[in-house]
Amino acid sequence: MLQLLDFLYRQRIFLLFLLLEGVSFWLIFSYNHRYNTYFMNSSNRVTGEVSDAINNVATFVDLQRANSELAQENLILRKLLAAQSTKSLAEISAKDSTYTLALGHVVNASFRKSKNYLTLRIDPMDSIRPGMGVISSKGVVGTVKSVSEHFATVASLLHPNLLVSGRVQSNGALATVQWDGKNPLEAELKYVPRHLEMDVGDTVRTSGFNSIYPEGFIIGHVSTSALKRENPFYLARVRLATDFTQVRTVYIIKVTDRKEKESLEEEVQDE
C-alpha cells in the first residue's frame, strides 16, 4: 500500500496532466457541436465495425454447424440409395419403397413450453397434409398439425399429446414414446413388458405400426430403466435423438399407401 502511495506521489504531475487533458477533451466534445458530431460518428463507426465482425464470426460458426448437418444428411441419403441399388425389387422392403420425403426449413420452434411446436417453410408443390410424420437427420421430430400454402406447423415430440409407436431394437418389444412435460431431452418409454431384457443404451426406433412413420427411424436411446414389483412394465425413459434446440432442416414423410391401409383398418373396426 505504501509503495502504491509512493508511486502516485512521484507521478502526481503526470497524472494531473492526464486528468486535465481528459477534462479538456470532455469540454470540447460536450460544448462544441462540430467536434461532438465527429466523435459520435466515429464512435458509431467503430461500434458498427465491431458488431459486424462479431456477426461475421457467428455466421461462420453457424455455417460450420450447418455444413456438418448437411454432410450427415447426405450420408443418410447416400446409404438409402446404396441400399436400394443393391437390392432387387422383390427385396426392397416396405420402408424403402412406400414413402417419399419432402424438405422443410424450420423458421420457428419452441422447446420450453408445456406443448411445443415447430413452424416449417415448405414448398407448395409438395402437397403436405396434416398427420404426416416429420424427421431430421438425427431422428423423429413430430407430426404435421396444420398447413397453409407456404408453411406448416408441427407438433413435436415435446408435446404430451403426441404418442409415437416404437420398438426396442435389442428385444423387439413394442412400446410407446410420450413426453411427460419435464426434460426437453427425454421422454417416457411406456409398456415394455418386464419379462423382456432391456438395458440402458438400447436403441428405440419407430415400429411401423401406424401410417405416419415407416419402420426403422430412430427415436432415441434408453436412458433409464427400472422395475417395480407391482408394475408389469418397465419404468423407463428414452433420450431423444433429435435436439430440438438445434434442428434447422427436416423431412416430411409422405407414405404412398397410407389411405389404402387406413381405409382397410377402418373397415375392420366397423365390424
Strand (E) or helix (H) holding 166: strand 164-168
Range of the domain at 42: 15-91
- Together in a domain, 154 and 241: yes
- Together in a domain, 43 and 99: no
Please report, in tens digits, the pLDDT of each residue of the chain (271 residues total). 677 677 767 777 877 777 877 777 666 656 665 555 555 455 544 544 555 566 566 556 666 666 666 655 665 665 555 444 443 333 333 344 577 888 899 999 999 999 999 999 999 998 999 999 999 888 999 999 999 999 999 999 999 999 999 999 999 999 999 999 999 999 999 999 999 999 999 999 999 888 799 888 999 999 999 998 889 999 999 999 999 998 988 999 988 765 565 565 566 555 5
- Together in a domain, 122 and 226: yes
- Together in a domain, 73 and 171: no
Assess if residue 128 is contained within a domain. yes
Q: What own/partner pairs with CB < 8 Å and gap ≥ 24 does 142-151 have? A: 142/118, 143/212, 144/252, 145/117, 147/122, 149/124, 150/121, 150/122, 150/124, 151/107, 151/119, 151/120, 151/121, 151/122
pTM of structure: 0.65
- Cell 406447423, residue located: 153
The domain that holds 145 is classified in CATH as 2.40.10.340
The residues, ordered by sequence, that sit 6+ positions from 87 with a Cβ below 8 Å of its Cβ are: 96
Number of domains in the chain: 2
